[in-house]
Chains A and B, each alone.
Chain A
Amino acid sequence: MSSPEQWTHPEPDAAPAATAAKPTAEQVIAGLRATDEGGADLVQLLTPEGERVTHPDFDIDISAEELRGLYRDMVLIRRVDREANALQRKGQLGIWVPLLGQEAAQIGAGRAMRPTDMAFPSYREHGIAWTRGVHPTELLGIFRGTDQGTWDPVEKRFHPYTIVIGNQVLNAAGYAMGQKFDGKVGDDDGEATMVFFGDGATSQGDVHEGFVWAAVYDAPLVFFCQNNQWAISEPTERQSRLPLYQRARGYGFPGIRVDGNDVLATLAVTRWALDECRHGNGPILIEAFTYRMDAHTTSDDPTRYRLSDELELWKLKDPIERVKVYLVRQQWADQEFFAGVEAEADELAENLREFCVNMPDPPAQRIFSNVYAEGNPNLEAQRDEFLDYVSGFAGGEH
C-alpha cells in the first residue's frame, strides 16, 4: 500500500516516464497541491480581473439587470455572513459557519434553479437559502440553539440544513429517484434536484452511495460540490488522488469543474446541468472550484494549518470584485447603484442584529416536542422528568 507522501520520494531509478496520456503520480499530486489553479478543464466566463471570456461548451447571455441582481445577491449574503459571524463573537450565537469567499458558487447555483426544483443543503449554504427565499433571520435559530430552522422545506423547496457530513446526498438521491418514478422528468417542464456538499464530504460513504444510486436510476440529480480546498484542516490533496470532478467518470456520469468564484460560469454550468437532468440525462457532478476565506466555523483557527500566502492568492480571485469591475467597465452600473446595495446591506445587517438579540428562549419542553409525529410514552416520561428537574431550581432559574 503506497501512501501519497511516498510518491513524492520515488526510488531514484524507478521514476516512471510521463506521457501525455498518463501523468505521473508526482504530476497529479503537484496539480492537486496547486490549490489556486483550477487547471485546463476549469470553466470560466469572467476572469478574476473582470474580463469576459468565452468557453467552447458553455456560454451565457446575461442582461445588465440580471448581473446587477447577482451582484446584489452576493453583496447582501456576504454582509449577512459577516454580521452573523460578529454576532457569534458577541456571544449571541453558539457557532457560525462562514461562507466568505463562496458567494459566487452559491448564488450562481441557486439562481440557476427553478421554483419547482428541489435543493438539499449542508450547513454552509446561506447563499442557496437566500436564493430559495429563506430569509437569513430564519437561519439564526439553528446557530443559537433555539430551533432547527423554521422554514417549510416543501414550500421553499429547500430541505433543512444537514449537519452530518454528506448525509443529505442520500436524501437527495432518494428524492430525485422519486421525481423520476413520479414521471416528472423528460421534457422542458421537468423537475430536477440539486444537492450541496463540500470536498470533505466526498470522502464519506454516503456520497459514494448517493453517486451509485443516482447513476443506476438515472436520477435527475445535480451533485454540486463546493471544493473550498479545506475539509476543516485537511487539504484536498490528502483526500483524493485525482481532481474531484473526474470521479464522476467512474460512476458513469459527467463531471465538470467550474470556477466557483465566477458567478456567470457557475450559473451557466448549473443551468445546463439542471436542464440535462430535467430532460432525463442526469445525474451530473459539478465541482465548483473555490476557497473558504474564513475559518471552517467560528470554533476553528485556520492559521494553525494553512499559510497566509494561500489566502492572499485567493483574495485576488474575489467573486464580488470581478463582477463589480465588469459592471463598471460595461457601464451597466453607476455609483448610485453600488451605494444603494451597500445601504440595503446595512439595513439587512441591522435587521439581523435586532432579530437575533430579541429571539426568545424556547421553553424547556421544546427539545422533546418534534421527535415523533405522534406521542411516545418513553419520551413523555423523559420530558416530565426533565421538567420536574428544571422546576427543582428555586424560582425556575436555570
Chain B
Amino acid sequence: MPQYKQFPLPDTAEGLTEAEILTWHVKPGDTVTVNQIIVEIETAKAAVELPCPWAGVVTELHAEPGQTVEVGVPIITIDTDPGGAAAPVAPAPAAAEANGTSSGKIGEEMPGGRIATLVGYGPKSGTAKRRARKDTAAPAAVAAPTPVVAPEPVAAPAVPAQAPGGYVPLAKPPVRKLAKDLGVDLYALTGSGPDGVITREDVESAVAAPTPVAAPSYVDNGSRERRVPIKGVRKATAQAMVDSAFTAPHVTEFLTVDVTPMMELRARLKNHPEFRGVKLTPLAFCAKAVVLATRRTPDVNATWDSAANEIVYKDYVHLGIAAATPRGLVVPKVRDADRMSLKELAIALDELAAVARDGKTAPADMMNGTITITNVGVFGVDTGTPILNPGESAILALGAIRDMPWVVDGEIKIRKICQLALSFDHRVVDGQQGSQFLADVGALLADPGFAMTY
C-alpha cells in the first residue's frame, strides 16, 4: 500500500511562526531520497534549504512559490512506499488516522487534524470549522427609532471583528481555548477577574446566558467601541494644542527645496573620520540651518508674554524636536543648540531620540523650548501645517526627501526634493520675518555653503 506522509513547515530558527516558499526543487512524481534538498524557504531571519525527511515519491506540493506558510502547515506529501500495491490516492490525514499511529510525535498528525511541532501545535489542516458566533446573527433592521447617518449593512459580518485599535481581551490560555471550543467571542465579554481578566466563569456564563434579544443592527451597545480615559501624555498634548491653537494666531508658509547639495555633503561627511559612528540625519542639517537662520530673524525665537505685555527675545536657542514615542508625542529640547557644531547636534539628536523612544524623557527636558522642528518626513509625509508648541513663536515641519523631477539650468533633472512648512505666531512674527526665516533655512539646505556667509 502506498503510504502518504506530510512534511509540515518546521521552525528553522527559534520561534519563527511563518516562512515564504522561495523555490521548489522537486515536483509531483519525482523520486526523493532522505536529506535531498526539496525546497528553499525564506524566514524573517534567513533563506534556508529544507532537506527531505523520507525517501519516496513526491505526491503533491501544498504551497506555491511566493506563498507565506505558517509553521506546522504541511507543504509536501510524499509516498514513502510507492512500490506497494496500487491504491486510490487518499488524502494523507485519512491515511494517518487509519493506521492508528497518531501519537502526537513531531511532524505527525494528531486526532483532530493538527500537526505537532517542537513548539506546540500547528494550525488545523483542511478547512477550519469554527462555530458561529452566537451574538452576531442579527436580523434585518426593524423600524428605526432615530435617524442614522448612513444605513449600515444589514447582514452581520461573517468574520469576527478585528481587534479594534489593537485591543486584545485579557484571558489565560486555558480560558481562551475554552472560549474557542464553546464558540464564545472574547471581544464581547467583560472580564470579572483582577485587572479585567476574563475568567473561566465569565466564558461559561456567556454560554449559559440566553441569546441576546435581536436588536436592530445599527443600535450599537458599545461592544465594538473602546473607551480609554484621557490622561497622561494624551491629555497634556490635547491641552497644549488647544491652548496654542486658540491663543496664537497661526500663519503657515511652505517652501519646496532642492536639497541635493545637502545630501551630497552628508554623504561626504559620513565617510570623514571625524563623523565616524555619528548618525548624521537630514534632521541634523535642518536643525543646524534653523539655529543659523534664527540669528538673522530673532523674532521666530521670541515669546509673546501677554501678562507682562512684552515680547521676550532670547540670546539662546533651546531647540525642541517633536518625537513620536510609545507614550505619545513628546517634545524634548536640545539646550543651547545655537552653540553646537553639526556633529554635536547630530549626536545630541540621536541621544534625544533614543531617550524619548525608551519613554525616559524627563519632564524638565520638555520645558522652556524656544523653537521646534517636527520631522514629519520620517513618516513619508511631504508636509503639514504644524501647531505651535505653547509659548513658542515658530515651528518648522521637515517633509520627506524624495527623488523628484526638478529644473536645473533649464533642464529637467532628478533631484532630492524636500518640502518645508513654517507655522508662526502672527502676534510676534510678521509675514516678512517668517518668510525671511523660511527662505534662509531653505537656502542653507539647498546650498550648505551659504553657512559661510553667516
Mark B346-367 against chain A: 1 for CB-CB distance below 8 A, else 0: 0000000000000000000000
Whether the Cβ atoms of B46 and A6 lie closer than 8 Å is no
When each residue 63-102 of chain A gets 1 if its CB lies under 8 Å from chain B and 0 otherwise, what string results?
A: 0000000000000000000110010111111110000000
CB distance from A157 to the nearest CB of B (A): 31
Q: Does A145 contact B (CB under 8 A)?
A: yes
Flag B163-198 by CB within 8 Å of A: 1 or 0 each.
000000000111001100100000000000000000
Q: Does B118 contact A (CB under 8 A)?
A: yes
Q: Are B181 and A394 in contact (CB under 8 A)?
A: yes
| Chain A residues positioned under 8 Å from B12 (CB to CB) | 88-89, 298-299
Closest to A393 in B: B174
Given contacts A6-B273, A9-B273, A357-B106, contact A93 B174 (CB under 8 A): no
A contact residues around B105 at 8 Å (CB)? 357-358
Q: CB of B70 within 8 A of chain A? A: no
Any chain A CB within 8 A of the CB of B10? yes
User: Is A392 part of the contact surface with B, judged by Cβ < 8 Å?
Assistant: yes
Inter-subunit contact B51/A392 (CB<8 Å): no
Complex contacts, B8 vs chain A, CB 8 Å: 91
Question: Contact between A93 and B118 (Cβ–Cβ < 8 Å)?
Answer: yes
Residues of chain B in range 372-431 having any CB-CB distance to chain A below 8 Å: none
Asked if A187 is at the interface of the complex by the 8 Å CB criterion, the answer is no
Query: Is A372 among interface residues, defined by CB-CB distance under 8 A?
Result: no
Chain B 9-27 near chain A by CB (<8 Å), digits 1 or 0: 1111110000000000000
Q: Indicate which residue in B49, B51, B118, B173 contacts A144 across the interface (CB closer than 8 Å).
A: B118
Closest to B10 in A: A91
- With contacts A91-B10, A94-B118, A393-B174 taken as known, whether A6 is within 8 angstroms of B45 at the C-beta atoms is no
A299 touches B177 (CB 8 A): no
Per the 8 Å Cβ criterion, residues 170-223 of A in contact with B are: none
Q: Which residues of A contact B118 (CB under 8 A)?
A: 91-94, 144-145
* A137 CB, nearest partner CB in chain B, Å: 16
CA distance in complex: A93, B117 (Å): 10
CB of B241 within 8 Å of the partner chain? no
Report whether B174 and A300 are in contact in the complex, using a CB–CB cutoff of 8 Å: no
**Which residue, B8, B48, B181, has most C-beta atoms of chain A within 10 A?**
B48
> Interface digits, B42-53 against A, CB 8 Å rule (1 contact, 0 not)?
000111111101
- The distance from the CB of A293 to the nearest CB of chain B, in whole angstroms, is 15
List the A residue with the shortest CB-CB distance to B117: A91
Q: Taking the nearest CB of chain A, how far is it from the CB of B446, in angstroms? A: 31
* Bound Cα distance A340, B305 (Å): 94
- Cα–Cα distance between A298 and B11 once the two chains are bound (Å): 10
Query: Does A5 touch B at the CB level, under 8 Å?
Result: yes
Q: Give Cα A91 to B50, complex, Å.
A: 10
Indicate whether A301 reaches chain B with its CB closer than 8 angstroms.
yes
Residue in B closest to A361 when the chains form the complex, CB atoms: B104
Q: A86-B51, A299-B14 are in contact. Are A91 and B45 (CB under 8 A)?
A: no
- Cα A225 to Cα B119 with chains together (Å): 34
Q: Tell me which residues across on chain A come within 8 A of B53, comparing CB atoms.
A: 90
Cα distance, A94 to B222, chains bound together (Å): 45
Residues of A within 8 A of B119 (CB): 94
Binding site secondary structure of chain B: loop
Give the distance to chain B from A73, nearest Cβ to Cβ, in Å. Answer: 22
Which residue from B50, B172, B174 sits with its C-beta under 8 Å from A90? Answer: B50
- Report the bound CA distance from A295 to B48 in whole Å: 11
Contact A5 B276 (CB under 8 A): yes
Distance A163 CA – B47 CA, assembled complex (angstroms):
25
A340: shortest Cβ distance to chain B, in Å? 21
Q: How far is the CB of B44 from chain A (nearest CB, A)?
A: 10
Query: When the two chains form the complex, which single residue of B10, B45, B120 contacts A301, counting CB atoms closer than 8 Å?
Result: B45
Contact partners of A301 in chain B: CB under 8 A: 45-48
Task: State in angstroms the CA–CA spacing of A350 and B132 once bound together.
Answer: 48
Complex CA–CA separation, A389 to B174 (angstroms):
8
Question: Which residues of the partner chain A approach B104 to less than 8 Å between Cβ atoms?
Answer: 361
Mask: chain B, 92-126; 1 = CB below 8 Å from A; 0 = not:
00000000000011110000000001111000000
B7, CB-defined interface residue at 8 Å: yes
Bound form: Cα–Cα A299–B48 in Å: 10
Asked if residues B14 and A392 are in contact (CB atoms below 8 Å), the reply is: no
Given A298-B12, A394-B181, A89 and B50 contact (CB-CB distance below 8 Å): yes
A394: chain B residues at CB < 8 Å are 177-178, 181
Give the CA-CA distance A294 to B187 in the complex, in Å: 47
Q: Does B67 contact A (CB under 8 A)?
A: no
Q: Contacts A144-B118, A299-B14 hold; do A91 and B46 have CB atoms under 8 A apart? A: no
B276 partner, pick from A6, A145, A304, A398, beta carbons under 8 A: A6
The interface residues of chain A lying within 8 Å CB-to-CB of B173 are 393
B239 interface residue (CB < 8 Å to A): no
Tell whether B247 is near chain A: CB-to-CB under 8 Å.
Answer: no
List which A1-55 residues lie within 8 A (CB) of chain B. 3, 5-6, 9
Residues of A within 8 A of B46 (CB): 295, 299-301, 303-304
> How far, in angstroms, from A301 to B12 measured CA to CA in the complex?
11
B106–A393 CB distance below 8 A: no
- A301 nearest CB neighbor, chain B only: B46
A308–B348 Cα distance when bound, in Å, is 39
Is the pair A298, B273 in contact by a Cβ cutoff of 8 Å? Answer: no
Partner of B174, one of A6, A82, A95, A392: A392
Query: What's the nearest-Cβ distance from chain A to residue B258, in Å?
Result: 32
Of B14, B45, B51, B273, which one neighbours A89 at CB under 8 angstroms? B51
User: Which residues of B123-174 are within 8 A (CB) of A?
Assistant: 172-174
Task: Tell me the A304-349 residues at the B interface (CB within 8 Å).
Answer: 304
Measured CB to CB, the closest approach of chain B to A305, in angstroms, equals 12
List residues of chain A with CB within 8 A of the CB of B174.
389, 392-393
Does B107 contact A92, Cβ atoms closer than 8 Å?
Answer: yes
| Cα distance A5–B47 in the bound complex, in angstroms | 31
- Given A298-B12, A299-B13, also A91-B177 (CB < 8 A): no
* B183 nearest CB across to chain A (Å): 15
Give the residue name and chain of the A residue nearest to B122 (CB).
A91
Q: Does B35 have its Cβ within 8 Å of any Cβ on chain A?
A: yes
**Bound CA–CA A301/B46 (angstroms):** 5
CB neighbours of B181 from chain A (8 A): 394
Q: Which residue of A lies closest to B181 (CB)?
A: A394
State A82–B105 Cα separation when bound (angstroms): 22
Encoded as 1 (CB less than 8 Å from any B CB) or 0, chain A from 349 to 366 comes to: 000010001100100000
B273 contacts across to A, CB distance below 8 A:
6, 9
Chain B's nearest CB lies how many Å from the CB of A146? 10
CA distance A357 to B47 in the complex (A): 25
Q: B49 touches which one: A6, A89, A300 (CB < 8 A)? A: A89
Q: How far is the CA of A303 from the CA of B178 in the complex (A)?
A: 45
Q: Given the complex of chains A and B, what is the CA–CA distance between A86 and B423 in angstroms?
A: 62
Least distance between A98 CB and chain B CB atoms (Å): 13
19 more CB-based (< 8 A) A-B contacts, given A83-B35, A299-B12, A393-B174: A3-B276, A82-B35, A88-B10, A89-B10, A89-B50, A90-B10, A90-B50, A91-B8, A91-B9, A91-B10, A91-B106, A91-B107, A92-B106, A92-B118, A145-B118, A295-B46, A300-B46, A301-B48, A392-B174
Closest 10 interchain pairs by CB? Answer: A91-B10, A301-B46, A299-B13, A392-B174, A86-B51, A90-B53, A299-B14, A86-B35, A89-B50, A393-B174
22 A–B contacts from the bound complex (CB under 8 Å):
A5-B276, A6-B273, A86-B35, A88-B12, A89-B10, A89-B50, A91-B118, A92-B107, A94-B11, A94-B14, A298-B12, A299-B12, A299-B13, A299-B46, A301-B47, A301-B48, A304-B46, A361-B104, A392-B174, A393-B174, A394-B177, A398-B120
